[in-house]
Amino acid sequence: MKKLTVLILLMSLMSTACNKSDGSDDPGTFYDASIYGDYSEDDPVPSEALNFQSNVTFVNFTASQREKMERAIEIIKLVVATDEFKNRILNYTYDGKKQFVDNGGYTNGQIYQLILNAAETLQPSKNNIMDAEVELYYENNNVVGYTYPNTRRIWVNTKYFNSYTAAGVAHNLFHEWLHKLGFTHAVNYTSSRNSSVPYAIGNIVGDIGRNFL
Ligand SMILES: [Zn+2]
């Protein structure tokens, strides 16, 4: 689709932690990374998924655009808390095996845990918080959004943002944020690119997110 030929999407910053709706997060209880990856479909949704939080800063948003982005972030949290999100990642298959393309050597279960850890390359604490800055801009091209490895900022094109549903925005924001965790994909389209971590899991977020519109 019109995702970027380049990197990915993004957004901006708002200085507020947009999650005060959930006062239940206790940042003291994360799994040790050494045990990640051993989830099975029979396991309950882990507490880090139920308590997944966000801290997003917004740049260059109108009030209504901010409202839409906040709704998209809320959808991401609702999606991450689902059993379906866990199981679709654990069971994701490419080329006959449970794996993602460009998986960095990680198993599906480890990728799930890395998402819950939310240790961005540039903010490497395992804080269980999706940290990002999102900036809106407009350009009349086919780039929905993008980011770069050396910045925590994600840029989102209002050409698409303004007409997307909140689930569509969530899809793209999560794609971009997965880049912040260090996951990459082919720059140019290939059929396997859709099975990369950002594309595949972004799609999963968009799919499940439609249930929360
Ligand atoms: Zn991307």
Q: Which residue has the tokens 């994360």?
A: 30
State the distance from the centre of ligand 1 to the C-alpha of 171, rounded, in angstroms: 11
- Which tens digit of pLDDT belongs to each residue from 77-136? 999 999 999 999 999 999 999 999 999 999 999 999 999 999 999 999 999 999 999 999
Q: Comparing C-alpha atoms, which of 3, 14, 7 is closest to residue 130?
A: 14
Tokens of 211: 């249930």
The contacts of residue 117 (CB under 8 Å, 6+ apart) are: 30, 33, 36, 48, 126, 128
State the distance from the centre of ligand 1 to the C-alpha of 70, rounded, in angstroms: 21
Q: What is the pLDDT of residue 43?
A: 85
Q: What is the pLDDT of residue 37?
A: 62
SS3 call for 54? strand
State the distance from the centre of ligand 1 to the C-alpha of 146, rounded, in angstroms: 7
SS3 call for 26? coil
State the distance from the centre of ligand 1 to the C-alpha of 68, rounded, in angstroms: 21
Q: What is the pLDDT of residue 40?
A: 77
Q: What is the pLDDT of residue 42?
A: 82
Say which CATH topology domain 36-212 has: Collagenase (Catalytic Domain) (3.40.390)
Question: Which residue ranges make up each domain of the chain?
Answer: 36-212
Q: Comparing C-alpha atoms, which of 181, 206, 189 is closest to residue 128?
A: 181
Neighbours of 55 (CB within 10 A): 20
Q: What is the pLDDT of residue 56?
A: 98
CA distance 88 to 167: 17
Q: Which amino acid is at 177?
A: W
Tokens of 130: 């999706």
State the distance from the centre of ligand 1 to the C-alpha of 30, rounded, in angstroms: 27
Strand partners, 53: 129
User: For the residues 7-24, what does the mean pLDDT come to?
Assistant: 32
- pTM equals 0.83
- Which tens digit of pLDDT belongs to each residue from 25-73? 333 334 444 445 667 788 899 999 999 999 999 999 999 999 999 999 9
State the distance from the centre of ligand 1 to the C-alpha of 181, rounded, in angstroms: 12
